[in-house]
A = this chain, B = another copy of it.
Amino acid sequence: MPTRPGARDRLVEATITLLRERGVHGTGVAEVLERSGTARGSLYQHFPGGKADLVAEATRSAGRRAARHVARTSDGTAGSLLDALVDWWVATLTKHDFGRGCPVAAAALDETGATTDAAGRVFTGWTDELAGLLGQDRDPEEARRLAGFVVSAVEGALLQCRALRSTVPLEDARVVLRGLVSPS
């Protein structure tokens, strides 16, 4: 049995899940503490800025984890990265009955400067990484544009999937985007 993660990690973990379910405003400190089994004092010890601090860190952490997961799952081509991404989201949406979305999208819609800032940096990081892959077959400007577009399309499809309670928008995105990222 692995040792129990520290209070800080448990807080971040619970916050990511709650962001995905309810967004920033809907995430209460009390529920974060309850779900993570953590004392109130520990939160303000690790995150002196309180909730805003915690949410920003959760956003960054989720962004890093997603990039790592997708890179590990795909074979390094843009097409397989796209499949890894769509497959993961389809599985997650189905598993949690469309109740969990993207924590970075949730952070992007907050009005706190630090939170949207963190979300913006994650989006930029994803775009840069994908642009590197796409740049093998295209000039850099077009690669960057297409990479940012893929991020937009997947985030938007995710939004629609949750509202429609259907994975069709993501599958539609897979088909159209595959036509765009595959070398012509």
Contact = CB atoms under 8 A, between A and B. Distances in A.
Interface of A: 21-26, 99, 101, 104-109, 111, 116, 119-120, 123-124, 145-146, 148-149, 151-160, 162-165, 168-169, 172-173, 175-176, 180
Given A26-B111, A176-B146, A160 B151 contact: yes
Q: How many copies does the complex hold?
A: 2
B156 A176 contact: no
Given A159-B156, A176-B180, A22 B149 contact: no
A109 to B, nearest CB: 6
Contact of A123 (B22, B107, B164): B164
B163 A157 contact: no
B123 A152 contact: no
Name, among A104, A109, A151, the residue most crowded by chain B CB atoms within 10 Å (CB to CB): A109
The 3 closest A-B pairs by CB, nearest first: A156-B156, A152-B156, A25-B25
A4 B125 CA distance: 49
Given A152-B157, A155-B156, 12 more contacts: A23-B23, A105-B109, A108-B159, A109-B159, A120-B165, A123-B164, A124-B164, A146-B176, A148-B168, A148-B172, A149-B173, A152-B153
